[in-house]
Protein backbone atom coordinates (compact mmCIF):
# COMPACT_ATOMS: atom_id res chain seq x y z
CA UNK A 1 0.00 0.00 0.00
CA UNK A 2 1.35 3.38 -0.94
CA UNK A 3 1.71 5.94 1.82
CA UNK A 4 0.33 9.38 1.15
CA UNK A 5 3.16 11.90 0.91
CA UNK A 6 2.66 14.63 3.53
CA UNK A 7 3.42 18.24 2.76
CA UNK A 8 4.48 18.61 6.40
CA UNK A 9 8.24 18.78 5.93
CA UNK A 10 8.11 21.16 2.99
CA UNK A 11 5.52 23.33 4.71
CA UNK A 12 7.75 23.58 7.77
CA UNK A 13 10.61 24.84 5.60
CA UNK A 14 8.27 27.15 3.69
CA UNK A 15 6.78 28.77 6.75
CA UNK A 16 10.02 29.36 8.58
CA UNK A 17 11.64 30.77 5.44
CA UNK A 18 9.31 33.76 5.80
CA UNK A 19 11.48 34.90 8.74
CA UNK A 20 8.45 35.40 10.95
CA UNK A 21 6.88 37.91 8.55
CA UNK A 22 3.21 38.56 9.25
CA UNK A 23 1.33 35.74 7.56
CA UNK A 24 -2.20 34.44 7.61
CA UNK A 25 -3.25 30.88 6.92
CA UNK A 26 -6.71 29.37 6.50
CA UNK A 27 -7.10 25.60 6.58
CA UNK A 28 -10.52 24.29 5.61
CA UNK A 29 -11.76 20.70 5.44
CA UNK A 30 -15.16 19.71 4.07
CA UNK A 31 -16.29 16.08 4.23
CA UNK A 32 -19.31 14.40 2.69
CA UNK A 33 -19.79 11.07 4.50
CA UNK A 34 -21.87 8.09 3.40
CA UNK A 35 -23.38 5.44 5.68
CA UNK A 36 -20.67 2.88 4.84
CA UNK A 37 -17.81 5.25 5.76
CA UNK A 38 -16.84 6.18 2.23
CA UNK A 39 -17.30 9.65 0.87
CA UNK A 40 -15.74 12.78 -0.55
CA UNK A 41 -13.38 15.37 0.94
CA UNK A 42 -12.33 18.86 0.01
CA UNK A 43 -9.15 20.39 1.42
CA UNK A 44 -8.76 24.14 0.95
CA UNK A 45 -5.44 25.79 1.85
CA UNK A 46 -4.99 29.57 1.76
CA UNK A 47 -1.97 31.63 2.72
CA UNK A 48 -1.43 35.38 2.64
CA UNK A 49 2.05 36.79 3.11
CA UNK A 50 3.91 40.04 2.38
CA UNK A 51 6.44 40.16 -0.41
CA UNK A 52 9.86 40.54 1.18
CA UNK A 53 13.36 39.22 0.82
CA UNK A 54 13.51 35.50 1.46
CA UNK A 55 9.90 34.51 0.85
CA UNK A 56 9.24 35.36 -2.79
CA UNK A 57 9.11 31.70 -3.79
CA UNK A 58 6.85 30.41 -1.04
CA UNK A 59 3.94 29.65 -3.36
CA UNK A 60 6.10 27.54 -5.64
CA UNK A 61 7.24 25.39 -2.71
CA UNK A 62 3.66 25.04 -1.55
CA UNK A 63 2.62 23.94 -5.02
CA UNK A 64 5.41 21.36 -5.09
CA UNK A 65 4.43 20.01 -1.67
CA UNK A 66 0.72 19.65 -2.36
CA UNK A 67 1.44 18.49 -5.89
CA UNK A 68 3.18 15.47 -4.38
CA UNK A 69 0.06 14.67 -2.37
CA UNK A 70 -2.07 14.97 -5.51
CA UNK A 71 0.13 12.52 -7.40
CA UNK A 72 -0.26 9.99 -4.60
CA UNK A 73 -4.04 10.45 -4.62
CA UNK A 74 -3.98 9.70 -8.32
CA UNK A 75 -2.01 6.48 -7.98
CA UNK A 76 -2.91 5.04 -4.55
CA UNK A 77 -5.76 2.57 -4.09
CA UNK A 78 -8.78 3.78 -2.20
CA UNK A 79 -8.82 7.29 -3.67
CA UNK A 80 -10.15 9.07 -6.73
CA UNK A 81 -8.89 12.58 -7.39
CA UNK A 82 -11.77 14.80 -8.51
CA UNK A 83 -10.11 18.20 -8.87
CA UNK A 84 -6.99 20.16 -8.04
CA UNK A 85 -6.99 23.96 -8.36
CA UNK A 86 -4.37 26.65 -7.79
CA UNK A 87 -5.37 30.32 -7.44
CA UNK A 88 -2.85 33.16 -7.14
CA UNK A 89 -3.81 36.79 -6.53
CA UNK A 90 -0.76 39.02 -6.16
CA UNK A 91 -0.27 42.73 -5.57
CA UNK A 92 2.88 44.80 -5.26
CA UNK A 93 3.03 44.19 -1.53
CA UNK A 94 1.50 40.76 -0.87
CA UNK A 95 0.61 37.39 -2.32
CA UNK A 96 -2.64 35.51 -1.79
CA UNK A 97 -2.12 31.86 -2.65
CA UNK A 98 -4.74 29.12 -2.56
CA UNK A 99 -4.82 25.43 -3.42
CA UNK A 100 -7.94 23.25 -3.35
CA UNK A 101 -7.92 19.45 -3.53
CA UNK A 102 -11.10 17.39 -3.86
CA UNK A 103 -11.14 13.59 -3.81
CA UNK A 104 -13.20 10.51 -3.02
CA UNK A 105 -12.16 7.91 -0.42
CA UNK A 106 -13.32 4.33 0.14
CA UNK A 107 -13.21 4.37 3.97
CA UNK A 108 -12.21 6.51 6.93
CA UNK A 109 -8.81 4.81 7.28
CA UNK A 110 -7.97 6.14 3.84
CA UNK A 111 -9.25 9.59 4.75
CA UNK A 112 -7.19 9.65 7.95
CA UNK A 113 -4.04 8.90 5.98
CA UNK A 114 -4.54 12.20 4.17
CA UNK A 115 -5.83 14.33 7.06
CA UNK A 116 -3.31 13.58 9.75
CA UNK A 117 0.34 14.52 10.03
CA UNK A 118 0.96 11.99 12.79
CA UNK A 119 -0.26 8.56 13.82
CA UNK A 120 -3.63 9.59 15.21
CA UNK A 121 -7.13 9.35 13.82
CA UNK A 122 -8.83 12.65 13.09
CA UNK A 123 -12.19 10.97 12.47
CA UNK A 124 -13.64 7.62 13.58
CA UNK A 125 -16.96 5.86 13.05
CA UNK A 126 -18.57 3.23 15.26
CA UNK A 127 -22.02 1.67 15.35
CA UNK A 128 -24.08 0.74 18.40
CA UNK A 129 -27.30 -1.12 17.62
CA UNK A 130 -29.32 1.26 15.43
CA UNK A 131 -27.23 4.40 16.01
CA UNK A 132 -23.97 5.62 14.50
CA UNK A 133 -21.34 7.51 16.48
CA UNK A 134 -18.87 9.69 14.63
CA UNK A 135 -15.90 10.96 16.62
CA UNK A 136 -13.86 13.98 15.55
CA UNK A 137 -10.52 15.03 17.01
CA UNK A 138 -10.02 18.53 15.50
CA UNK A 139 -6.30 18.90 16.42
CA UNK A 140 -5.75 15.78 14.29
CA UNK A 141 -6.70 17.77 11.17
CA UNK A 142 -3.24 19.22 10.67
CA UNK A 143 -0.56 19.53 8.01
CA UNK A 144 2.44 19.64 10.30
CA UNK A 145 3.86 17.55 13.10
CA UNK A 146 3.00 18.54 16.67
CA UNK A 147 6.34 20.26 17.26
CA UNK A 148 6.31 22.27 14.02
CA UNK A 149 2.66 23.25 14.31
CA UNK A 150 3.14 24.39 17.90
CA UNK A 151 6.04 26.63 16.85
CA UNK A 152 4.10 28.07 13.91
CA UNK A 153 1.13 28.99 16.08
CA UNK A 154 3.33 31.58 17.81
CA UNK A 155 4.31 33.12 14.47
CA UNK A 156 1.26 32.93 12.22
CA UNK A 157 -2.44 33.71 12.37
CA UNK A 158 -4.08 30.36 11.60
CA UNK A 159 -7.81 29.81 11.19
CA UNK A 160 -9.33 26.34 10.82
CA UNK A 161 -12.74 25.19 9.67
CA UNK A 162 -14.36 21.77 9.43
CA UNK A 163 -17.61 21.21 7.54
CA UNK A 164 -19.18 17.79 7.92
CA UNK A 165 -22.06 16.51 5.77
CA UNK A 166 -23.57 13.53 7.57
CA UNK A 167 -25.58 10.73 5.91
CA UNK A 168 -28.43 11.49 8.34
CA UNK A 169 -29.53 14.40 10.51
CA UNK A 170 -27.59 14.46 13.79
CA UNK A 171 -29.46 13.54 16.97
CA UNK A 172 -26.88 14.94 19.39
CA UNK A 173 -23.41 16.51 19.55
CA UNK A 174 -21.19 16.27 22.64
CA UNK A 175 -17.95 18.15 23.14
CA UNK A 176 -17.32 21.32 21.19
CA UNK A 177 -20.66 22.56 19.90
CA UNK A 178 -20.77 23.38 16.16
CA UNK A 179 -20.73 27.05 15.18
CA UNK A 180 -23.36 26.29 12.56
CA UNK A 181 -25.91 23.57 11.79
CA UNK A 182 -28.26 23.19 8.84
CA UNK A 183 -29.96 19.85 8.34
CA UNK A 184 -27.24 17.21 7.90
CA UNK A 185 -24.44 19.82 7.74
CA UNK A 186 -22.36 20.69 10.82
CA UNK A 187 -19.70 23.41 10.84
CA UNK A 188 -16.92 24.20 13.31
CA UNK A 189 -14.60 27.22 13.13
CA UNK A 190 -11.57 28.07 15.26
CA UNK A 191 -8.85 30.69 15.50
CA UNK A 192 -5.88 28.62 16.62
CA UNK A 193 -3.73 29.83 19.50
CA UNK A 194 -0.63 28.48 21.20
CA UNK A 195 -2.76 26.21 23.42
CA UNK A 196 -4.51 24.42 20.54
CA UNK A 197 -2.17 21.42 20.63
CA UNK A 198 -0.71 21.72 24.13
CA UNK A 199 -3.96 21.41 26.09
CA UNK A 200 -6.13 18.32 26.24
CA UNK A 201 -8.86 18.63 23.62
CA UNK A 202 -12.04 16.66 24.16
CA UNK A 203 -13.33 14.57 21.28
CA UNK A 204 -16.45 15.73 19.47
CA UNK A 205 -18.97 12.88 19.30
CA UNK A 206 -21.91 13.08 16.89
CA UNK A 207 -24.78 10.62 17.10
CA UNK A 208 -26.99 10.10 14.08
Question: What digits encode the pLDDT tens for the residues 139-180?
Answer: 888 665 556 666 666 667 889 999 999 999 999 999 999 999
| The model scores a pTM over 0.85 | no
Q: Which residue has the higher pLDDT, 13 or 201?
A: 201
Q: Which residue has the higher pLDDT, 92 or 134?
A: 134
Q: Give the pLDDT confidence score for residue 79 in this predicted structure.
A: 97
Q: Give the pLDDT confidence score for residue 61 in this predicted structure.
A: 56
Q: Give the pLDDT confidence score for residue 174 in this predicted structure.
A: 96
Q: Which residue has the higher pLDDT, 39 or 71?
A: 39
Please, which pLDDT band fits residue 6 given cuts at 50, 70 and 90? low
Most confident range, picked from 84-93, 119-128, 149-158, 177-186: 177-186
The 10s digit of each residue's pLDDT in 98-108 is 999 999 999 99
Q: Give the pLDDT confidence score for residue 10 in this predicted structure.
A: 46
pLDDT score of 68 more than 90:
no
Q: Give the pLDDT confidence score for residue 54 in this predicted structure.
A: 56
Q: Give the pLDDT confidence score for residue 19 in this predicted structure.
A: 44
Q: Give the pLDDT confidence score for residue 175 in this predicted structure.
A: 93
State how far the Cα of 113 lies from the Cα of 40, in Å rounded to an integer: 14
pLDDT score of 198 more than 80:
no
Q: Give the pLDDT confidence score for residue 188 in this predicted structure.
A: 97
Average pLDDT over residues 85-92: 86
The 10s digit of each residue's pLDDT in 13-65 is 454 444 445 688 898 999 999 999 999 999 998 888 887 655 555 555 566 66
Q: Give the pLDDT confidence score for residue 133 in this predicted structure.
A: 96
State how far the Cα of 15 lies from the Cα of 68, in Å rounded to an integer: 18
Q: What is the DSSP string of the chain?
A: -PPPPPSHHHHHHHHHTTTT---EEEEEEEEEE-TTS-EEEEEEEEEEEE--TT-TTHHHHHHHHHHHHHHHHHHSTTEEEEEEEEEEEE-SSEEEEEEEEEEEESSHHHHHHHH-SSSS-SEEEEEETTEEEEEE-GGGS-SS-HHHHHHHHTTSEEEEEEEEE-SS--SEEESSPPSEEETTEEEEEEEE-TTTTTS--PPEEEE-
Amino acid sequence: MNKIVKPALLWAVILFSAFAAACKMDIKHEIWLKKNGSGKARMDFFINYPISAGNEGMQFSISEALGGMVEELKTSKGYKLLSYKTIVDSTESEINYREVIEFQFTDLDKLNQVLRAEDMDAIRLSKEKKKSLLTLYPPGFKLLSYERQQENLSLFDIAAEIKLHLPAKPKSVTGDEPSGQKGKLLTWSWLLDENWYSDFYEDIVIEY
